[in-house]
């Protein structure tokens, strides 16, 4: 005779983000991480004077590419690459922009990137311990400059890590192999761009110019890489 388990015993531990399983796991947070693992890849690489951020967009034939924003500007010296549920990303980016502007108004200086990242992670973490809500299903790669270049990762749990180079998303495993093998401290801007694109191409086999977005923080200023400049570099990889 087959024993039927009570529904609560089968599913109770993943019905709310505030419930721990007997193994100490939080299933809603793990599900949010799955949303990141299934999303298109994003890569960040630091170099001597800044940070390169590049991401692949999932596009349909009639979709306007610019309407899918994977690389965003937060402040003059900070940019972000998003991976996961882009609606969640948009909310967090708006929050980060407000925090950056409040810092400028209060202290008349740009916000430290480490301070901003911790603030974002605090917000993410709060959404893992409140009933009636769910964790943010997005990972962010934040690049910025204060005195030196920095690249931070935030995951859906609110965990914070700093990297010299990193990748998130469905192609992260293959992309990180390239980064580990070829990253060098003090790389030039051009070498960092080439490495970021190579890693992205390794993780996302079918990237095109239309589906690729790139931003760069150099000497304390964020800017988008225009389509023509990106086209010249991508000829080596696409």
Provide the CA 99 distance to its chain's centre, in angstroms: 18
Query: Is the Cβ–Cβ distance between 110 and 77 less than 8 Å?
Result: yes
| Contact present, 209 and 188 (Cβ < 8 Å) | no
Residue 222 near residue 76, CB atoms below 8 Å: yes
Name the DSSP class of 66.
G
40 catalytic residue (yes or no): yes
Instruction: Point out the catalytic residue in the list 40, 128, 154, 212.
Output: 40
Give the closest residue to 103 by CA, choosing from 144, 55, 133, 134.
144
Residue-wise DSSP of 8-48:
HHHHGGGS-TT---TTS--HHHHHHHHHHHTSPPEEEEEET
Residue 6 CA to residue 11 CA, distance in Å, equals: 9
Helix (H) or strand (E) holding 128: none
Burial of 187 (0-12, 13-18, 19+ CB in 10 A): buried
Where in the sequence numbering do the catalytic residues fall? 40
């Amino acid at each position: 005779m087959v024993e039927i388990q009570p529904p609560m015993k089968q599913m109770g531990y993943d019905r709310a983000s505030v419930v721990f399983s007997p193994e100490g796991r939080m299933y809603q947070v793990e599900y949010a991480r799955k949303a990141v693992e299934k999303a298109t890849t994003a890569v960040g690489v630091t170099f001597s004077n800044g940070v390169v951020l590049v991401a692949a967009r999932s596009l349909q034939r009639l979709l306007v590419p610019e309407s899918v924003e994977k690389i965003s500007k937060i402040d003059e010296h900070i940019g972000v690459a998003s991976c996961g549920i882009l609606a969640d990303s948009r909310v967090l980016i708006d929050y980060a922009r407000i925090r950056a502007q409040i810092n400028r108004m209060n202290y008349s200086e740009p916000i430290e990137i480490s301070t901003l990242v911790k603030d974002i992670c605090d917000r993410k973490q709060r959404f893992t311990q409140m009933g009636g809500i769910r964790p943010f299903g997005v990972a962010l790669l934040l690049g910025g400059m204060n005195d030196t270049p920095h690249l931070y990762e935030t995951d859906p749990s609110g965990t914070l890590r700093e990297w010299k180079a990193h990748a998130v998303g469905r192609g992260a495993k293959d992309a990180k192999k390239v980064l580990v093998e070829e990253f060098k401290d003090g790389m030039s801007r051009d070498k960092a761009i080439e490495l970021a694109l190579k890693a992205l191409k390794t993780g996302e086999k079918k990237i095109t110019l239309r589906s690729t977005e790139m931003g760069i923080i150099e000497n304390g200023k964020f800017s988008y890489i225009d389509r023509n400049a990106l086209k010249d570099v991508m000829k080596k990889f696409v």
